[in-house]
Each structure stands twice: as structure tokens, then as C-alpha cells.
Amino acid sequence: MRTYLKFLIRCFRLSFVGDYRYYAWMFLLTVFVLLGINAYCKQLVYGLATTGMTDQVSWGFYIANFTFLVGMAAAAVMLVIPVYIYRNRELHDLVIFGELFAVAAIIMAMLFVTVDLGRPERFHHLLLRFNFPVSMLTWDVLVLNGYLLLNLHICGYLVYCAYRRRQPSKLFYIPFVFVAIAWAISIHTVTAFLYSGLGGRPFWNSAVIAPRFLASAFGAGPAFLILTLQVIRATTAYQVTDRALLTLRNIVTVAMTINMFLLGSEVFTEFYTDSAHVASAKYLFFGLHGRHALVGWIWTAIALNVVALVILYLPLSRGVRFLNTACVLLIAGVWIEKGMGLIVPAFIPTPLGEIVEYTPTLNESLVTMGIWAFGLLAYTILVRVTIPVLSGQLTHDRPYDPSAPALTHSDHHESEHPVSSAPTPVGDDATNARPEGVH
């Protein structure tokens, strides 16, 4: 216990150490966090009237970001499956960054649910009145908290084993990895069922909502990891191979192809049948009775996703510049499609036929940016602490030395508690081989 507490203290101290880029990034995020806290304090005082939500449109920016982030958290499985099931060596040392981002994404998702509550101090009333197992809200709370605990255990155990220079016991993390794979799919499926199960919102009453959620998540999540892994490669000595990035690119391409196909299928069903429930879709894509606040949003999202998918299909996306462009466009497109393009239209028109449009307020936007900044702050700290531990620069028997080279395989084998080794890379990667770490 003493060693573990010392490990936590050393990690806490290490989170304050970095170069000027690290300090500038953390300062910028802290500023946005403080602005978000100030805006949320105003919301606590004046209520949800500080947001653009109304009695007619009761879900807005907050739930839109919640939906998007649940998918981003579930996307960590796209690194776990190739590594632990298909033994993909290129992603072997990078899977932990996907799990760390899942932790940060779930924290942000829960914060968005919290700020969406008008009286968060009365949250315990929800717990006392849960209608288990009928209520989808109950299942959503269970799967989100369970997924958070699973990823905290996996990441914490592997990093601590690397800190102690011990080989991790497969019994203590491999079963949890496979449970997390199924759990990752369940968190977004349950979230989709939360919407599609509301009979009073026909815009959501579609069987393809859950598959669309998963497909878009498996596209946007790895796209975000492609960008962050390149930042890690540019700012640290941690090795991220081009082949690993191209593997993630292939995952993104397949997932987004499926997502666009499902979107097209749903649009065809809505407009070709021309049923009585097509009003929400008409409002979203073309406007309704002179109201068209969301038309620009959805067509922008479709354009971004199509351009990104075209770039990914072309060979030029094997270059970093075009790959990054496609990832940025894709993330923005999916965020709009699953946010403003999915949540808000279901409330317009109301069951009484009213058309009350929704526009997020400045205060609402500041709270949103504050939560995103807090999540990125947490993710940055987790990555900042993890890299030196996995690289062997911070262990229980040596002080932290950023200039020290990473431990070699021979160093691991000569240590008292060897870390598991992996096959030696071949080809071009053999000259720059790095220890495979604790996975």
C-alpha cells in the first residue's frame, strides 16, 4: 500500500512537469474550464433559463454532446479488438491510449448529464425512483459507470505493473478486457434504445438508430485517436508507427462507409414512404413552415462526412496531411449529425404541432466548452503520466529522468520482475524497436 500511494504521489507531481508547449496547452484548457465553471454557476442561480432549451425542446447542446461522447468512449474497442483478438502488433503499445480516452470521454459524458439536470442536488431522487429493469435510463447509468470502472481498472493495473517492472497477471486484466469489449458496444446500444424507445418521438423510432450510433462512433473515435497519437509522436519519444495509423485509417473508412449507408437508408425510408411522422425529417433537411434553423447544420454535416470519406478512399489519405484533414472533417461531421441533427429535430414539431426552434445560448456554449476542456485536461494528464511509466523512465526503483533512454528488452529480462516481451519487429521497424511495454 505504501508503494502504491508513493506511485500516485509521483504521478501527481509528474502531471505538473513538462515543456513550454505542455504548460501553454494546460493553461489554455484551465482558462476554458474556469469559464465553464463560471457559466455553470450562473445556470445554478438562474436555472435552465440560461440555456436555449424550452418546454417544447427540452434536450439540446448538453444531451447532443453526451450522445457524441458515449460513442467516442465506445470507440476504444476498435483498438482493443485488433490487439487482443487478432494480435495486431502495430497497435499493441497504443491500445492503452484508447482506453485512457474512454475514461476521459465517459467522465465528460456524465458531466453533460449532470449540467442538463435543472436541480442536480436532487439527483438522489432519480436513484430512489429507478424502475429497474424496465427503465432504459437505469440501464444507461449502469453501463456508463460499469464501463468507466472497467477502463480504470485495466489502465491502472497495467500502468502500475509497468511502474513496478512486473509482468502483469493475465488473470487480473484479460477477462476484464473481453468484458469491456461487449460493454463498449452495450453503452452506445443502450443510449440508442433510450431514444428509440420513446414512442412520443417518432423521429427516433427507427431500428437503425443503434447500428448508426455504433458505426459513427467507430469512425469518429479512431479518427480522434489518429490525431492524438500524432501529437504524442511529435511531442514525446514514444514510438507510433505509420502502419498503426494506417490500420486505424482502414477502421475509420469501413465504419464511416457503413454509417453513410445507414443514414441513406433512413432518409429513404422517411421521405419515400411520406408517412405522417415525416415532419421532423422535413424540418431537419428542408425546413418546415418557414422554420429552417437546422437545415444548415445537417447539410454541413453530410458535406463534411462525404468529403472526408472521399479523401479516405483515395490513396492520398496515406499521407499525414490529408489523413489529418479527413479526420478533422469526419469528427466535426459526426458531431453535428449525432448532436444537432439527431437530438433536436425529434422535438420539432411538438405533439401539439408547435414549431419552437432551438438555438444554444452563449452561457450554454461556455458550459459545454468547459466540460470539453476538463475532459481534455484529464486525458492530457493521464497520457503525460502513462508515457514515462511505460517507457521505463519512471519506475519504483529509479527517479524520474526524462533524458534517460527507454528500457530495452534485455533490461527487462535482467530486472527482478521482468515485463512481458513481444516478438521482435521485422523489416524497417527492427532498427527502431522499442519495448512492447506491459500489454
What average pLDDT does this structure show over 303-311? 94
Q: Across the strands, what pairs with 395?
A: 398
Structural domains for the chain: 2-432 (1.20.1630.10)
Q: With cut-offs at 50, 70 and 90, classify the pLDDT of residue 437.
A: very low
The pLDDT of residue 130: 65
What's the Cα-to-Cα distance from 40 to each of 35, 109, 111, 116, 362, rounded to whole Å? 9, 16, 11, 10, 11
Greater pLDDT, 113 or 139: 113
The pLDDT of residue 401: 64
The pLDDT of residue 414: 37
The values of phi and psi at residue 287, to 5°, are 90, 160
Asked if pLDDT for residue 229 goes beyond 80, the answer is yes
The pLDDT of residue 404: 60
The pLDDT of residue 329: 94
Kindly report which listed range (334-343, 392-401, 430-439) carries the lowest average pLDDT score: 430-439
Q: How far apart are CA 230 and CA 31, in angstroms?
A: 25
pLDDT, tens digit, 9 for 90 and up, residues 261-285: 998 888 888 888 777 678 888 888 8
Q: With cut-offs at 50, 70 and 90, classify the pLDDT of residue 92.
A: confident
Asked if pLDDT for residue 432 goes beyond 70, the answer is no
The pLDDT of residue 405: 57
CB atoms within 10 A of CB 135: 15
**Which amino acid is present at 323?**
L
| pTM (two decimals) | 0.85
The pLDDT of residue 261: 93
Kindly report which listed range (89-98, 290-299, 336-345, 423-432) carries the lowest average pLDDT score: 423-432
pLDDT, tens digit, 9 for 90 and up, residues 4-34: 888 888 888 888 888 889 999 999 999 999 9
> What percent of the chain is modeled with pLDDT above 70?
89
Q: Across the strands, what pairs with 288?
A: 291
> What percent of the chain is modeled with pLDDT above 90?
30
**Which amino acid is present at 112?**
F
Task: For residue 349, say if its preceding peptide bond is cis, omega within 30 degrees of 0.
Answer: yes
pLDDT, tens digit, 9 for 90 and up, residues 164-190: 888 888 888 888 888 888 888 888 888
The pLDDT of residue 91: 79
Q: How far apart are CA 68 and CA 428, in angstroms?
A: 38
Asked if pLDDT for residue 342 goes beyond 90, the answer is no
pLDDT, tens digit, 9 for 90 and up, residues 50-82: 998 988 888 889 999 999 999 888 888 878 877
Q: With cut-offs at 50, 70 and 90, classify the pLDDT of residue 433.
A: very low
The pLDDT of residue 320: 85
Average pLDDT value over all residues in the chain: 83
Q: How far apart are CA 156 and CA 150, in angstroms?
A: 10
The pLDDT of residue 241: 85
DSSP state of 118: S
Q: Residues 83, 181, 99, CA angle at the centre, nearest 5°? A: 65
